[in-house]
Structures are given as structure tokens and as C-alpha cells.
């Protein structure tokens, strides 16, 4: 039995809806043979983008999509992907398996797709093999509404009105695939780019937000130097602390199945110990977040700069018979638990985490959607985003779960993870996950400070190895769940390896 307290009176930070974002990279079958089928395809599409994917994204209210990479962004030249599709340049995707791309999915296709979904666009600029001018032109092409060269080129290519661009990344993993830079060098590069990109002369929207390339995993020195360098204005040799030169610092964190990146197991190949191992690794992200936050707070005590976890999730060996460079993996209940652990942690740290995009949306790492020809399936991870969607733009509540450590041998993790929030109408959502592979847990919930009018609950529960396949697409789906409610108490037994969502209407 575990006691669970939700304090209706303790309001914390806003949970930005952008925490529930997704990442679309030109990698394997994410874009081509995934999202993008082309306008002439027999597969139902809207301007070449699969309609079933657009509908699925709308259903979970995907708030933001990051594109075109990842490492692909570090070699992408956006002008290759505009103009008549037939005449676009063919390129070799050198980062991901030398796949030949015809550039049929470019800026127009991405921006139109975001508009159709109703989500923000987040473009990762190429600071590595591109130039400041190229990034400047790209922003002008997308957002310019004056009589300028790039805005006119966009009009010539069929789009009269500017699109709304919300987020722009200046470099991706610049310490690695984005140029192997040192932090001081990157700070200078960023500042120089930002100086020009942030000038609003040709733009319709003054709300473009900039994201700097942040640390990978536990590189606190990177966070320290970059946050310091980008929260200090330099003017005529004097340095002053002022408004930060970035809205967010990106942070990438993957958990690797097996013995790490060079010895990966496949998604469905795990025993009890490996189940706990990967969930423990996800849970340990909380310490990394806390420490990066502490370092950032030294330079940004008012938390004006968000920590943007714009690549996260499980990374396994590619499925048998697929191109290893395409990183295609299946998705089991273990991944659903992992996603629930991550998202509950993100909610709890929403005072600093302002955006997160899981890698990658379709057919790659911890994808929410998988496709095969005309078929499309939703993964267990997709359903976690469905269960958590009420948290979007809600306010985090103080909540406390009685916990114990479980696991195998030295591999230990807490058995329960949760977070709760209050929406604009005063109603409460709570998401609880049981990480145990074999034991259910009785939970006695108390809502403190409010009276319950009604409650609805839903659950994602299945065997540990269960996944959805093209033959059995609805093996793992959300179901209604019975709870007992009396007064301000809610009792239920959460099954092993499952996730429960409580939606509480308050009097």
C-alpha cells in the first residue's frame, strides 16, 4: 500500500505544453517512407504528408516539431529543398547511411505540415557547414513579410503569407556532430550569429525564440561556460549581465539498452534485470536535470533560460533485417514506462524545463508512430503522450508518493513515479506509473484542499514485452480503469508495469 497526496493548494510552475513535443529528423524512414509520401501517393495525404500521421499528432496535441535534425541539420542547406520538387537537388545523407534524398520534403512541406497540425515549428539551423547568412536568409524566407529578396523568393515559390516560426536552434550538438567545438569557441560563434539573427528588421513576428546547443548528458562544464557566455552582454569591451542571449539551452539525453552505445540490445530483447536497468537509467535523468539546473542558476537565477530537452528517449539496436544506419526500433511496454518516468520528471522540473522533443517521431528511435507501406501503428509510447496530454499548459501541483526501491541485484529504481497538475478550469490530472515488472501496488490517494465532484481514470497496461505490430496493431491500447472514490479519497490497485491517468473534476 502506498499513500499518495495531491495538494490542490500548492501551485508550482506552469508545465509548458512544449514539453510534449516531437522531433522529426531526416534519418532512416522518419521523413521519406514515413511522414512524407508525396502528393501523388495512394496513401491518403495532405500536401504529401500522411493524413493518418497528421490526425495522430493532432489527437495527442503535439505542440512543437523540431526539424530537420539532429546531426542531419549540421549538413543541411535549406535552399536545396525549395522550388519545384522535380528540380530540387538530390543529396546524399552522409550522416545517416548515405541515403540519397531528393529534397522533396523541404521548408514549405515542413512549415505547411506544422500549420496543418496546429503546432509550433522549431528549426535547427546549420552552424557547422552552413553560414550565418544562410540562417539569416532562412529566417527571412519563412517569416519575412516585406519587399525583401527572400520573402519574394518564397512568394515566387507559391507561399504568399509568411509562416509562423517560433523556435530556432543555433547549432546542434556542436560539441560533436555539429563541429566538435569547444565551449568558448561556440559561445563566440553563437554570439556572432545571434547578433544578426535576432535583428527583427524583415520579420513579421517578434516572438522568434533562440535555443543554444547545450550539453550532452553530464557535461556540466559545457553548461557552465555556455550559460555564462550567453547571459553576459559585451559592449565596447565592458561586460555586463543582462537579458540572456538565448531563450533555451538544449540538452540531449538518451538511455542505451544493453551495455551502452557500442553494445546495444534490441528493444524486445530484455530480461527482468534489463527492464529495471533501462528504467533506472531514465530515472537517473532527474539528477542530471537538477545539476544542470543548479549550474544554470548560477548565471541565470531568475530562470529566464529554459532547459530544452530536445532529444530524449531509448536507443536500442536496430531491428533485425533493417539498415543499421536507419536506427529503426520497436517499442514495448518497457518504453511506455520509460516515457512515463521521463515525462513525470519533466513535469516536476517545469520551472526550468520549457521544451522537450522525443527522438524521433516516426520509424526511428523511441517513435510514437511506425509505418509500413499503407499501414500505420501507434506505439505504447504514443499512448503515454495521450495519457499525459492534460498536463499541457497546466500548473504543476505539489504531490507526494510513498515509494520503495525495487529491482534485481544492484539495479534499483523507485517503484512509483507521478506528477499532478491543475488546468485553467481548476480540474486536476495525475499520471502515475508502476515500474515493477511483476507486482501491482495498492494506492490510497488523498486530494488535499478541494472536494471531488467526479473522477475518470484510464490505464495503459500490458505484458512487459508487449508491443503493437502491423499484424496486431491494437495489442497495447488505453482502456478505462475503475477506481473507488469516497470523499476526497481515491483508491485503486495499479497493475505491474502500467500507467494510470486520473482526471479529477473538482466541485
Residue 397, classed as helix, strand or coil, is strand
Phi-psi region of 402 (alpha: psi -120 to 50; beta: other; left: phi over 0): beta
Tell me: does residue 359 bind ligand AHR (CB under 6 A): yes
Q: Cα angle vertex 255, ends 21, 295, to 5°?
A: 75
Question: Which residues, 6 or more positions from 30, have their beta carbon under 8 angstroms from its beta carbon?
Answer: 24, 360, 361, 362, 363, 364, 367
Interface with ligand AHR by CB under 6 A: which range of 171-179, 261-269, 270-278, 348-356? 171-179
For residue 31, CA distances in Å to 10, 81, 103, 280 come to: 43, 13, 10, 31
Per-residue mark of binding to ligand AHR, 50-79 (x: CB under 6 A): -------------------xxx--------
Tell me: does residue 211 bind ligand AHR (CB under 6 A): no
CB 501, min distance to ligand AHR, A? 28
The b-or-e profile of 13-44 (16+ CB within 10 A means b, else e) is bebbbbbbbbbbbbbbbbbbbbbbbbeeeebe
Residue, CB closest to ligand AHR: 70
Supply the residues annotated as catalytic. Answer: 173, 311
CB 27, min distance to ligand AHR, A? 6
* Closer residue to ligand AHR in complex, CB, 173/335: 173
CB 250, min distance to ligand AHR, A? 9
Among 103, 107, 172, 330, binds ligand AHR (CB under 6 A): 172
CB 381, min distance to ligand AHR, A? 15
Cβ atoms of 240 and 185 within 8 Å: the answer is no
* Closer residue to ligand AHR in complex, CB, 310/441: 310
Per-residue mark of binding to ligand AHR, 363-402 (x: CB under 6 A): --x-------------------------------------
Q: Quick one: which of 497, 417, 500, 499 has its CA closest to 465?
A: 497
Tell me: does residue 37 bind ligand AHR (CB under 6 A): no
For residue 441, CA distances in Å to 4, 26, 444, 491 come to: 12, 42, 10, 11
Among 101, 109, 137, 311, binds ligand AHR (CB under 6 A): 311
* Closer residue to ligand AHR in complex, CB, 48/69: 69
The b-or-e profile of 420-448 (16+ CB within 10 A means b, else e) is bbbeeeebbbbbbbbbbbeeebebebebe
CB 365, min distance to ligand AHR, A? 6
Bridge partners, residue 23, by sequence: 66, 359
Which residues, numbered 415-434, are part of the site for ligand AHR (CB under 6 A)? none
Residues in contact with ligand AHR by CB under 6 A are 25, 69-71, 172-173, 177, 252, 311, 359, 365
Amino acid at each position: 500500500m502506498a499513500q499518495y497526496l495531491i495538494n490542490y493548494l500548492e501551485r508550482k510552475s506552469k508545465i509548458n505544453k512544449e514539453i510534449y513535443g516531437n522531433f522529426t529528423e531526416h534519418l532512416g524512414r522518419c521523413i521519406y517512407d514515413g511522414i512524407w509520401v508525396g502528393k501523388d501517393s495512394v496513401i491518403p495525404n495532405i500536401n504529401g504528408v500522411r493524413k493518418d500521421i497528421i490526425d495522430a499528432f493532432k489527437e495527442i496535441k503535439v505542440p512543437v516539431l523540431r526539424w530537420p535534425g539532429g546531426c542531419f541539420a549540421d549538413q543541411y542547406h535549406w535552399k536545396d529543398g525549395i522550388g519545384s520538387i522535380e528540380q530540387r537537388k538530390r543529396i546524399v545523407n552522409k550522416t545517416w547511411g548515405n541515403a540519397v534524398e531528393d529534397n522533396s520534403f523541404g521548408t514549405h512541406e515542413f512549415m505547411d505540415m506544422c500549420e496543418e497540425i496546429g503546432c509550433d515549428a522549431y528549426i535547427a539551423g546549420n552552424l557547422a557547414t552552413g553560414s550565418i547568412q544562410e540562417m539569416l536568409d532562412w529566417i527571412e524566407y519563412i517569416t519575412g513579410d516585406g519587399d525583401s529578396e527572400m520573402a519574394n523568393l518564397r512568394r515566387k515559390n507559391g507561399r504568399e503569407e509568411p509562416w509562423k516560426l517560433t523556435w530556432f536552434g543555433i547549432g546542434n550538438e556542436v560539441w560533436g556532430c555539429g563541429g566538435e567545438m569547444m565551449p568558448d569557441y561556440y559561445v563566440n560563434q553563437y554570439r556572432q550569429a545571434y547578433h544578426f539573427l535576432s535583428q527583427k528588421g524583415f520579420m513579421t513576428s517578434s516572438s522568434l525564440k533562440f535555443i543554444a546547443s547545450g550539453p550532452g548528458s553530464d557535461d556540466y562544464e559545457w553548461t557552465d561556460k555556455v550559460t555564462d557566455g550567453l547571459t553576459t552582454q559585451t559592449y565596447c569591451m565592458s561586460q555586463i549581465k543582462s537579458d540572456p542571449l538565448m531563450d533555451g539551452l538544449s540538452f540531449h539525453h538518451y538511455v542505451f539498452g544493453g551495455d551502452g552505445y557500442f553494445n546495444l540490445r534490441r528493444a524486445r530483447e530484455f530480461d527482468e534485470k534489463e527492464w529495471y536497468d533501462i528504467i533506472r537509467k531514465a530515472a537517473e535523468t532527474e539528477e542530471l536535470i537538477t545539476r544542470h539546473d543548479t549550474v544554470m542558476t548560477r548565471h541565470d537565477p531568475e530562470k529566464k533560460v529554459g532547459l530544452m530537452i530536445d532529444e530524449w528517449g531509448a536507443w536500442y539496436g536496430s531491428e533485425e533485417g533493417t539498415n543499421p544506419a536507419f536506427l529503426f526500433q520497436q517499442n514495448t511496454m518497457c518504453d511506455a514506462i520509460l516515457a512515463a518516468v521521463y515525462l513525470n520528471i519533466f513535469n516536476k522540473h517545469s520551472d526550468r524545463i520549457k521544451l522537450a522533443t522525443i527522438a524521433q517521431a516516426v520509424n526511428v528511435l523511441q517513435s510514437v508512430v511506425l509505418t509500413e507501406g499503407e499501414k500505420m501503428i501507434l506505439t505504447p509510447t504514443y499512448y503515454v503522450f495521450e495519457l499525459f496530454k492534460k498536463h499541457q499548459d497546466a500548473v504543476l501541483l505539489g504531490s507526494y508518493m510513498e515509494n520503495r526501491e525495487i529491482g534485481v541485484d544492484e539495479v534499483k529504481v523507485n517503484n512509483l513515479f507521478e506528477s499532478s497538475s491543475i488546468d485553467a478550469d481548476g480540474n486536476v490530472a495525475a499520471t502515475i506509473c508502476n515500474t515493477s515488472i511483476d507486482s501491482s501496488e495498492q494506492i490510497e490517494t488523498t486530494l488535499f484542499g478541494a472536494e471531488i465532484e467526479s473522477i475518470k481514470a484510464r490505464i495503459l497496461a500490458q505484458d512487459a514485452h508487449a508491443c503493437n505490430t502491423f499484424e496486431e496493431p491494437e495489442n497495447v491500447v488505453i482502456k478505462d480503469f475503475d477506481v473507488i472514490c469516497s470523499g476526497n479519497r481515491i483508491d485503486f490497485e495499479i497493475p505491474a508495469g502500467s500507467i494510470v491517468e486520473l482526471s479529477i473534476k473538482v466541485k
